[in-house]
A and B are shown apart, each in its own frame.
Chain A
Amino acid sequence: MNKFFNDPNNFVPEMCEGLVMANPDTLKYVPEYNMIYRSDMPSNDKVAIVQGSGSGHEPAHIMAVGKGMLDAACPGNVFAAPPVDFCYECIKRMNGPKGVLYIVNNYQGDKMAWQMAEEMALAEGINVKGIMVDDDVSVKDSTHTIGRRGVAGNFFVIKAVGAASEQGADLDALVKLGNKVNGLVRTMGVALTSCTPPAKGSPIFQISDGEMEMGVGIHGEPGRRRDKMKTADEIVEELFKAVADDLPFKSGDRVALMVNGLGGTPISELYILYRKAAEMAKARGLTIIKNYVNEYCTSLEMAGASLTLLKLDNELEALLNAPAEVPIRVF
């Protein structure tokens, strides 16, 4: 296992420490709860937006903490849901007069932890509500879910509610907005290799050279099928069709198009995928208003990519264009 770590059990805390040391003016850290939060939070002026899922998906979500995005994140261990006390403490510490919105990807462990934390916080009079993200079109149920999984489309939910929260939207409006974005975003991914959580020390699934897992989950969960490796264009054709047919995206729609790397694929290859995806969008009559080609939601060092389409209207376009300052977007 050729990886950078000291003690594999300190993978998450040492990552958090490094992140805070690199952003001393803007981020703070509560080690007991793996909690990274904006140093100017909690606030009297905005709803706090928080998320916590397994680690190993960076930059999701601790590196999406910053003005205009998340106010706090409290990840669990690699690919493990955060314990309920992490979620509860995160809600409690971020709470202000306008309340707290939590975003949870649709995985049973994450959902149970956040919903319990919500019940505990509500019992203490905290105004807290949640939204669930389930943008992955590849399979209906999977190893860790009943229903669709939440994957890279989560970024757009965070961006939209993060921007709206900065502009003063109240909790109910943010719940409505988050659900709206989730309803308009679709994703599917493909894995070319597996990945190795440091504390596990071995790959989470087996895949041979020359094979791919079409519709893979971000924890290596099985997708639609195992197939022989194909050309970049052929792979994009399948991903794009699955994603675009699902909503469906129709001629005349304005969209945001994301090609997200899963951690082990170079950005050069992501642009090869974008090239074909943009061609297909054009052929379908879609207008790409914004594009995102980078890593947003990964699976450690897994080679692979996901493709996300979000249908835009004037409201969402303005929210995507609103300023945001997070560690991964500092130039």
Chain B
Amino acid sequence: MANKNITLVEVEKAVQVIMDTAFENEDYFSELDGLAGDGDFGNSLATGFQVIREQWDTLPRTNINAFLMKVAMLTTSHVGGSSGPIWGTAFMRAAIYSREKDDLNLTDIVNIFDSAIEGIMQRGGAQPGDKTLIDALIPTRNALAEVKSDAPDCWKRALKTASEAATQSIEDTKNLQAKRGRQCFTGERSIGTVDPGIVAVATIMNNMNKAFTQ
């Protein structure tokens, strides 16, 4: 993909990567959630994304906005528990940002991360350091922002550094006590256990890196 802006084709592929990550890791994510949560995270994600997979061929493809807005609606309504509105908010913010845009450069993607992070914090009430997926999204965003959108091979470099940052966030947050999200009901028991939402973001970023650069 060299340096060209991404279009609906790549956006579709990115959504596909997110969905496939959820399907491939359904049991693993639920297992992680079972350690300090209610053990349904993997299943919630996979069940919800299954509805998108079933409707894949009929999703609107007039532009990035219409496509992502429908993905946002389906995610919000079909992914169980509060994960639906939280993941749906990320897609919705991306959709709203992409209004009247036919393609997106790396700076646009950083702006989408900013908008999504703000939206998720607003929706779920989490702050940085509460041990939620926010703590994976922020370092991922910061890593993306370090690469200039006119740098040679910017996408390749951005995806590599972002997936490394996301992976690092798993260990960086392991010893925090969860204050919001999946693990917050278990209090101190969450210390020393990785957060499944953070692991999910890291796994997605690693799979994005593979899908788009190899």
Binding site for B on A (CB under 8 A): 83-85, 88, 108, 112-113, 115-116, 119-120, 123, 146
Contacts and interface: CB of A to CB of B under 8 A. Distances in A.
Contacts of B123: 112, 115-116
A116 B85 contact: yes
A84 B89 CA distance: 11
Contact of B82 (A84, A108, A116, A120): A108
Contact of A116 (B92, B99, B125): B92
Given A108-B82, A123-B99, A116 B77 contact: no
A137 B89 CA distance: 31
A112 B72 CA distance: 13
Given A83-B77, A88-B73, A123-B99, 12 more contacts: A84-B76, A84-B85, A84-B88, A85-B76, A108-B82, A115-B122, A116-B72, A116-B85, A116-B89, A116-B92, A120-B92, A123-B96
B85 A112 contact: yes
B69 interface: yes
A147 to B, nearest CB: 11
Contacts of A83: 73, 76-77
A116 B125 CA distance: 14
Which of A84, A119, A120 gathers most chain B CB within 10 Å? A84
- Contact-residue size bin, chain B (C-beta under 8 Å from the other chain): 10 to 19
Contacts of B92: 116, 119-120
A113 B99 contact: no
A112 B69 CA distance: 16
A116 B96 contact: no
B69 A120 contact: yes
Contacts of B122: 115
Nearest to A84: B76
Interface in B65-107: 69, 72-73, 76-77, 82, 85, 88-89, 92, 96, 99
A113 B77 CA distance: 9
A116 B69 contact: no
A interface: dominant SS: helix
Interface string B122-145: 110100000000000000000000
Which of B76, B96, B119 gathers most chain A CB within 10 Å? B76
A119 B69 CA distance: 11
A50 B82 CA distance: 23
Interface in B171-200: none
A119 B122 CA distance: 12
Contacts of B72: 84, 116, 120
16 contacts: A83-B76, A83-B77, A84-B72, A84-B73, A84-B76, A84-B77, A84-B85, A85-B77, A108-B82, A113-B76, A116-B72, A116-B92, A119-B92, A120-B69, A120-B92, A146-B125
Contacts of A84: 72-73, 76-77, 85, 88
Interface string B112-123: 000000010011
Nearest to B97: A123
A115 B82 CA distance: 14
B96 A119 contact: yes
A84 B72 CA distance: 9
Contacts of A88: 73
A286 B157 CA distance: 71
B122 to A, nearest CB: 8
Given A84-B76, A146-B125, A113 B85 contact: yes
A88 B70 CA distance: 12
